[in-house]
Amino acid sequence: MAPRIHLVRHAEGHHQLEPTSKNELIHDPSLTDNGVKNCRQFRSSFPDYVHLDLICASPMRRAIQTATYCFKSQLEEVGPLLLLPLAQEITDVPSDTGSSPEALVKEFGAVINASMVEEGWNSKTGIYAFTYEAVRERARDLREWLKQRPEKDLAIVGHGAFWHYLTGDVDELGNQKGPYWNNVEWRSYHFSENGGVELKEDKDSVMRRQMFNHEKEIDEEVKY
């Protein structure tokens, strides 16, 4: 039986700060202090009833850091963190370009499992190119890999734009159709029952997202 997939967007990175036109030139940026704070809030609110059998992340620094902060206790139980090059962000700007396997192992050590991070994963060529066709193929390859996994529940920390491709939330031009992913937002998915590799969001995940957005609107009204 295919696993349930919990997708998490990374916390705030330095490339998201203004001026973004300048900060997007930072190569493989790390989390901001606020991003780390949001991860700790996530950690305290993630439900105990979701037992993760595997935790994965894009090999980009902000995704690795988010995963290690958000799932600290779970990684101590099921770790190390498995890095998935297929889950990297889509564009070829420096902030969306990852570091070499050697640099990642040197920085994160035994916390990560970099066995799938081959040389050239950060080249932004071939299947990793910034084209609609390549990103769509990469998303399909990742869904096929996920469907074959033996775990019951697994989490992946990655990137909002790529999550739209992975979940089929883009049109034929690559434009996002569904709701934008907030920092450190998580949504849960299952594979469709038609025999394919399409992901469908769980009903409780949709309700959780709608409740979060409703509370956010109320909070903004109160501040106004």
What CATH number is given to the structural domain containing 96? 3.40.50.1240
Task: State the pLDDT at residue 222.
Answer: 41
pLDDT in tens, 134-152: 999 999 999 999 999 999 9
For residue range 54-78, list pLDDT tens digits in order.
999 999 999 999 999 999 999 999 9
Structural domain boundaries enclosing 76: 4-222
How many independent structural domains does the chain possess? 1
Concatenated DSSP letters of 155-223? EEEE-HHHHHHHTT-B-TT--B-SPPPPTT-EEEEEE-TTSS--EEE-HHHHHHHHHHHHHHHHHHHHH
Q: Is the pLDDT of residue 223 over 90?
A: no
CA dihedral 44, 15, 55, 186 (to 10 degrees): 60
Task: Output the six-digit token pair for 186.
Answer: 């998580």
How does pLDDT run across 150-194, given as a tens digit for each residue? 999 999 999 999 999 999 999 888 888 878 899 999 999 999 888
